[in-house]
Amino acid sequence: MNLGIGDHRSEKGFSLIELIVVLVILGLLAAVVAPNVYKKLATGKDQIAKIQIKELEGGLQLFSFDMGRYPSSAEGLDALVRNPGNNDAWKGPYLAKDLPKDPWGHSYVYHCPGMHGDYDLYSCGADGVDGGDDDICSWK
């Protein structure tokens, strides 16, 4: 008797239909999950920018205590990590690390005096364009 000899098809692997069904299911899952993951990443970058702005504001306050003023626009945020003009009152650096870039790789924008207070400090956001809806500002 030939018991099962010649019928090896059931143990060879998946059929083309089974593979297509699995790929369709994975595609549907990706279509549902990907937008939610992207939203979380975008929100995360906004939060990182807000935290970095708070850290920079802390450095600006320390600079102000020592120097009696905020850095000028010409000195910029670089004055928090390097002594502007070899001033003896400067006790920095006022940041634990070097000057950060925003989460999108752009420099933070700093103006002193500012239009919204003693200074304006902000990130231009994901688009990198000043004045867009995605700007993250110290005064908001």
Question: pLDDT tens digits, the chain, 140 residues: what are they?
Answer: 555 555 555 566 778 888 888 888 888 888 887 777 766 666 788 899 999 999 999 999 999 999 999 999 999 999 999 998 888 899 989 998 899 999 999 999 999 999 989 999 999 988 888 877 788 888 87
Question: 109-111 and 120-123: which strand pairing?
Answer: antiparallel
Range 17-137: architecture per CATH: 2-Layer Sandwich (3.30)
> Which pLDDT score is estimated for 9?
53
The amino acid at 115: M
Q: In Å, how far from its chain's centre is CA 76?
A: 21
> Which pLDDT score is estimated for 78?
95
Distance CA 19, CA 17 (A): 5
> Which pLDDT score is estimated for 19?
84
Tokens representing 48 are 């990182």
